[in-house]
Chains A and B, each alone.
Chain A
Amino acid sequence: MMGRRTYVRPMDGWWRRDPFFLRYMAREATAIFVVAYALTLLAGIARLSQGESAFDAWVAGLRSAPAVALHVLLLVAFLYHTLTWFQIMPKTMPPVVIAGRKMVPGTITALGLAASAAASLLLFLGLRAIA
């Protein structure tokens, strides 16, 4: 085996070869933004534990232009994550059969997006109610 030099198809940049792969990598890349947001919240909790002036400084940082720009970028990435999460859900869950008919993928995606809208609206209204 050592002496043989068989052709191995190079895999460098494979995901740039096809729009399908590009969308796959874009979907996977949302994970970086999800981690970035979790670390942002973790930093806030760390600042909170350090006292009032430390926490106020963190909030002042959130109001800065770069922080707002970052969160606009995060918002776009999270919306893309929501969309793609429910687009692949028909493939990751067991088939749903209602009245002898298998639920079509489009219905599952639409229900997922509706659930996201409902849960998020509930969170927003709940926060306004206690504020």
Chain B
Amino acid sequence: MSKRSTQPIFWLLFGAGGMLSALIGWMLVFITGIAIPLGILLAPDLFSYQKVLAFHRHWAGAAFTFVVISLFLWHGAHRIFHSLHDLGVKAHAPSAWACYGIAMAGTLAAAGLLLSL
């Protein structure tokens, strides 16, 4: 049996993250970075410790934040990995470990932090 490529896994994560960020990414940035902090259209109270904690202690809230952080990281990692190749960095182990390593570390950190709440 021939050795199977790992690329489809990374491409799938890239595609899923790209689609999720294309659908709701800009709105998430507006909500968490502009609307709530500045109190535009949404109440600043939404970022009170109690509310954010309660949101993430519910399994659905934790799952939502986990999926957003993780898929955004895998999307970015895959794209940056291939763009580095375009810029002359060989698509070999060092740049692969750097890009996918950050995505993997971020995924594990997000899971650990959310489960500890």
Q: Which residues of A contact B (CB under 8 A)?
A: 11-12, 15, 25, 28-32, 34-35, 37-42, 44-46, 48-49, 52, 55-56, 59, 62-63, 67-68, 70-72, 74-75, 78-79, 81-82, 85-86, 92, 112, 115-116, 119-121, 123-124, 127-128, 131
Which B residues have a C-beta under 8 Å from some C-beta of A?
15, 17-19, 21-34, 37-38, 42-43, 45-47, 49, 52-53, 56, 65, 68-70, 72-73, 75-77, 79-80, 82-83, 86-88, 102, 106, 109-110, 113-114, 116-117
* 22 residue pairs A–B, Cβ–Cβ below 8 Å: A11-B88, A35-B77, A35-B80, A41-B68, A41-B69, A72-B34, A75-B34, A78-B25, A81-B18, A81-B21, A82-B21, A82-B22, A112-B22, A119-B23, A120-B23, A120-B26, A123-B24, A123-B27, A123-B28, A123-B31, A127-B31, A131-B42
Query: Are A45 and B37 neighbours in the complex by a CB distance under 8 Å?
Result: no
